[in-house]
Amino acid sequence: MAGARPNQLRSLRVQVALVVALLSFLPNAVLAVIMVGFWRELQVPLQLWLALAVWLLAAVAVSGGMGYLLSRQLLAPLTRLAEQIESLQRSTRNPRPGLPLLLTDPVEIAAFKQTFNQLLAQVNLEQARRNSFMATLMHDLKTPLIAANHLLAAIRDNDRLSRQERVMLVGQLLEENRRLTELVQKLVDAHKYERDGVTLNREPCDLGALVRGLAERVQPLAAERGVVIEVRGSASATVDARELERALANLLTNALRYARSRVGLELYAGLIRLADDGPGLPAPLLELAQPFNAQPVEIAGQRYTAGTGGLGLYIARRIIEAHGGRLVTEASSERGTVLLIYLGQGA
């Protein structure tokens, strides 16, 4: 099929070869035209005409050769780049590695590679997030839904269940529903914050009251885990109280989930210090506080993404950063974690 064949003239290599060949042949052609003009008047012998023809043919051959060699030389970096991209396309390594930057690369190729690698890093990140999102759906949503089915069937079919047992089961289902709704809300929030950023409605706020109110609300979880929450100090700031409370709630419930016996909140001007005596962070905070960043687990020598990652941490980080602040780790070890929440200048 003629249409399926690549058009040779669209090849950069062929075009450069033609240009070089034409440029090197052109002076010869001009000279030949001038000589033909002279020789016509001088009536030169046939041998000279033959010599001119041979010379022209030789010039064609040499120009063609130069075009071939020079185009190969000039376009070698592009050819290598095409090979590297092709190799990358075949690679199934996850994440895909970037194009190698070589000292011999011309500046234009180096600039292209850098931009390409940045885009690739973005694609890799998006792909990892998608995998993580799917893992969240698989493990964090599917398992409780299956469990709920079992329980609902038990409530429907088991006549021997006492009223007390039924109330307990329904209570557990409701609690799980609340947790799932919260998880879905976090997925939505993380997506929204990633796409649009956080919109703040700042007002002067008593941080002491906000933090103490929050500590009271998470008290059932603390009691269940046998963890004591201590709040010290007082401060006020101009913040979006609703958003900041959401950020602090995420950080505080995280701390409660991992603390062994205590979680402390200390308030200073423009700073909240959150300390727990848990086992420390499993990875650097910045790495954990990414949307849909499930930490892969290793099972049977293979790495699998499973479960919700730092959604809550990511949401907290975005809210704090929207206030012009920062979320940083002061300490993280097997003795515990201390997070510093800087509220920024505007607060």
Partner 1 sequence: MDRLTIMIADDHPLFRVGLKYALEAQGFAVAAEAGNGLEAVAQCRAIRPQVALLDIKMPMLDGIEACRLIRAELPEVIVVMLTTFEEPAIIAAARQAGAVGFLSKETEPSELARIIRTIAAAPSRYWLPEVTIPQLTTREQQVLALLAQGLANKAIARQLDLSTETVKDYLNGIYRKLEVSDRLQALNRARELGLV
Binding site for partner 1 (CB under 8 A): 86-93, 138-139, 142-144, 146-151, 153-154, 157-158, 169, 172-173, 176, 297, 299-302, 304, 306-307
Q: With respect to partner 1, which residue has the nearer C-beta, 158 or 333?
A: 158
| Cβ contacts of 345 within 8 Å, gap of 6 or more | 324
Q: Minimum Å distance from CB 94 to partner 1?
A: 8
Q: Minimum Å distance from CB 18 to partner 1?
A: 29
Q: Minimum Å distance from CB 141 to partner 1?
A: 10
Q: With respect to partner 1, which residue has the nearer C-beta, 143 or 219?
A: 143
Q: With respect to partner 1, which residue has the nearer C-beta, 54 or 170?
A: 170
Q: With respect to partner 1, which residue has the nearer C-beta, 71 or 136?
A: 136
Q: With respect to partner 1, which residue has the nearer C-beta, 279 or 344?
A: 279
Chain centroid to Cα 161, Å, comes to 50
Q: Minimum Å distance from CB 329 to partner 1?
A: 22
Q: With respect to partner 1, which residue has the nearer C-beta, 94 or 115?
A: 94
Q: Minimum Å distance from CB 174 to partner 1?
A: 11
Q: Minimum Å distance from CB 15 to partner 1?
A: 26
